[in-house]
Amino acid sequence: MKHNKHFILMLMIITILSVSGCKEDDQTLYSRNIVVDGTVLPFYESSLTYNAESEEQIRSELYSILNAHISKFPGQSSDYIIVNHDGENLTEDFLVDQLPSHMEIQDMIKRIKEDGYLVVNKKHYRVTTIEKEIEALFDGKRQLFPETLDKVLEDNMDAYENRDYEAINHYLRKNNIKVWDVINN
């Protein structure tokens, strides 16, 4: 009888931990860092899957970084750096002594994309979270296109009050609404 009680107690503890662990994952999706380059905020994308850069764009920006490093002329610098989603500058990990071959560049691009790194302008990027961006949206610190802010706020007020960021993200994605940071414009 004692063993049954212990078994039931252990089963309840495991169930509670499992359920709370799943809920934690849902919340961390919105508290994960995302890197914003420029003014468009893709905050409705997962920080782990968002990487809008094409291979051609990454290649071009990588060449800019590598050429600036290899040439070592005074005043020569690249506008780009490679960052992770914490905003940590990882550029040094990619620097080489001579211009890499096509295959080596392809390997670098693959590594950047697989690890979810971004190549960003070092003067115009910032680290934020989806939760912070939705808060800023509802505080009127963001601009929208093509919808008006009033319509988006009206349509999503219940979701916002319930902190249902997933519903707001779905709305933005479904309506293809672009969001800009008012401060940077």
30 or 71, higher pLDDT: 71
Cα separation, 76 vs 140, in Å, equals: 40
Cα separation, 150 vs 152, in Å, equals: 6
Which of 38-42, 107-111, 171-175 has the lowest average pLDDT?
A: 38-42
Cα separation, 157 vs 180, in Å, equals: 20
pTM of the model: 0.66
Span 21-70, pLDDT tens digits = 444 444 456 777 878 776 555 555 544 445 556 788 888 889 889 988 88
> Which has the closest alpha carbon to 58: 16, 17, 116?
116
